[in-house]
Structure 1
Amino acid sequence: MSSLISYDTVALDNGEPCFQITMTAPRANALEPDLLAQLHRTIDALEQSGAQKTMICGGRNFSTGGDVGRFFEAAQQGQAESYARQVVPVLQDLVHRMIVMPVLFACALRGAATGGSAGILFASDIAVAAPDAFVQPYYAIMGFAPDGGWASVLPERIGVGPAQGWLLANQRYEAADLQRVGLVQAVDEAPETRLLAMFAEMDTGSALAAKSILWNENRRARIRAGLDAETAAFLSLIERQETLSRMEQFLKQSG
């Protein structure tokens, strides 16, 4: 455990273990290098635990994605690409691990899941949102390329057209919208409790078989290539003056 993440194994009502991961990092679980590294170590612990069901939770806000302030500071120092390399490829590998692992991932969504943090939702097998939950990309107004699977995993989930419109128009999808497009299976005041109940009713073998067929070898290869393309595009845009100006404007408006 760390100050950024806590994890434990809880027993479901059917007696099965569920590995529960809770992000507890500052600034609404902003996806900084330390948090992302700890998430990977926690997934290592999940693999060692032998649990086949896991739930990922946040706090009042699930995660606000990449820290724009840190990106802006790095850009001012001429280190934007260097800093991005500590964040984006690590996030992409996390999303990929969730998809290819023979483990069922559940996402309990509260408050904001913005930018790349939505990739955890996209890569989850089931999800429940609290009524106040929302997902918003922000890439088009920030000048960033999409990461976290917005341009690679999300189209597999909801289709290319809806994913493109969501991205380019910077739309905010509320809990009901997320359920409508199938990214969450329920809206509940207590998403963690609802997910644990859903897990207890779910036959693990059947669910894992479905996951392995749905995320077959061809789709996995396509996802890996798409995630890598997202990373390359992100790195190519992060050092532009236009991106720096947009980050500065965003920070002034939100400050």
Structure 2
Amino acid sequence: MTATDAPSNLRIEDGVLRVVVATAANATALDVDEITQATAVLREAGSAIGAVLLVGDGANFCAGGNVRAFAAAERRGEYVGEIAGAFHEFVRALDDTPVPVVAAVNGWAAGAGMSIVCLADIAIGGTSTKLRPAYPTIGFTPDGGMSWTLPRIVGASRAREILLTDAILSGDDAVKLGLLSRLVEDDQIQDEALRVARSLAAGPTASYAGIKKLSRSSRTNSLSEQLDAEAASISAAADSPTGREGVDAFVEKRRPDFSSTRSS
């Protein structure tokens, strides 16, 4: 599947790939078909996209997995394992993408929905936004990388408390903890997230890719190794079309035209 073959729910406009992670028709549970399709697009889109926008189509961003489908499965463990496998391929593709990922977090982000929020580079919520792990409530353990991302965002001790107590986090709490970037009015969440995604897609995408690559390497690098990686990265950036355009525009006191630096 290529970016131009993207199914109807997946749209690429102004360089932004819009992914609907949950739909009202599915009671805002994780849409496995959608994220499976999105995984393929993320891996093949290349320069066709400059940002990813994650949204929920309904009252909630994503209320978690489809618990009724879990209950109806003849072999629950096997079924849930298959769902987790598909979800985790999406998580890997989202983590690997070199472009910024923006989430428009309306209503509830629970279970898998909260896991997705933890993966976003920028997550915009509203005054009514709430986050909750939700796994202990049904006797499950986390998926979607939450046991890995949450401790890195809020700290190991606080992450254990949130997960073990199945804490409900308000939008304000989530901003203070670093799970959400900021809050806007509820009716402005998707518009603001789209504005941010479009702005990023029109920006220095090569620079963003370098920033995300450095962020990933910092997970395992020592400080000395990371300093070496930063030196190599900034040197390469200075010689790149994006870096040259940025520096030249600054010196010439004009707005940089980063679109001219991208390969087709």
TM-score (norm 1): 0.73
Determine if the alignment matches structure 1 residue 8 to structure 2 residue 11.
Answer: yes
- CA pair 219-173 structure 1, distance change in 2 beyond 3 A: farther
Match of 2:217 in 1: 216
Match of 1:114 in 2: 110
Maintained 8 Å contact 1:158/1:182: yes
CA RMSD between the two structures = 2.4
Amino acid paired to 1:198: V
Match of 2:139 in 1: 143
Amino acid paired to 1:6: N
C-alpha displacement of 1:41: 3.7
Deviation digits for residues 40-59 of structure 1 (CA, Å, limit 9, x no counterpart)? 244346x2562121111112
The 1-side partners of 2:31 and 2:21 are apart by 12
- Of stretches 192-201 and 138-147 in structure 1, the one that deviates more from structure 2 is 192-201
Which structure 2 segments of 5+ residues have no match? 1-5, 222-264
The 2-side partners of 1:29 and 1:48 are apart by 29
C-alpha displacement of 1:31: 2.3
User: Does the residue aligned with 1:30 lie in a helix, a strand or coil?
Assistant: coil
* Pairs within 5 Å for 1:94-243: 94-189=90-185, 190-199=188-197, 200=199, 203-216=204-217, 218-219=219-220
Of residues 84, 88, 102, the one that matches 1:92 is 88
Maintained 8 Å contact 2:104/2:125: yes
C-alpha displacement of 1:120: 1.5
The 2-side partners of 1:40 and 1:109 are apart by 20
- CA pair 24-135 structure 1, distance change in 2 beyond 3 A: closer
* Pairs within 5 Å for 1:35-46: 35-44=34-43
- CA pair 96-144 structure 1, distance change in 2 beyond 3 A: same
The 1-side partners of 2:22 and 2:116 are apart by 15
Deviation digits for residues 55-82 of structure 1 (CA, Å, limit 9, x no counterpart)? 11112211111111111122xx3x0122
Maintained 8 Å contact 2:29/2:63: yes
* Pairs within 5 Å for 1:52-71: 52-59=50-57, 60-71=59-70
- CA pair 219-20 structure 1, distance change in 2 beyond 3 A: farther
Deviation digits for residues 8-41 of structure 1 (CA, Å, limit 9, x no counterpart)? 2333xxxxx2222234632333125434423324
Deviation digits for residues 214-247 of structure 1 (CA, Å, limit 9, x no counterpart)? 1117559xxxxxxxxxxxxxxxxxxxxxxxxxxx
**Percent identical:** 23
C-alpha displacement of 1:185: 1.4
User: How many residue pairs are counted as aligned between the two chains?
Assistant: 209
Larger radius of gyration: 2
- CA pair 6-119 structure 1, distance change in 2 beyond 3 A: same
Maintained 8 Å contact 2:30/2:64: yes
Which structure 1 segments of 5+ residues have no match? 12-16, 221-255
The 2-side partners of 1:127 and 1:68 are apart by 25
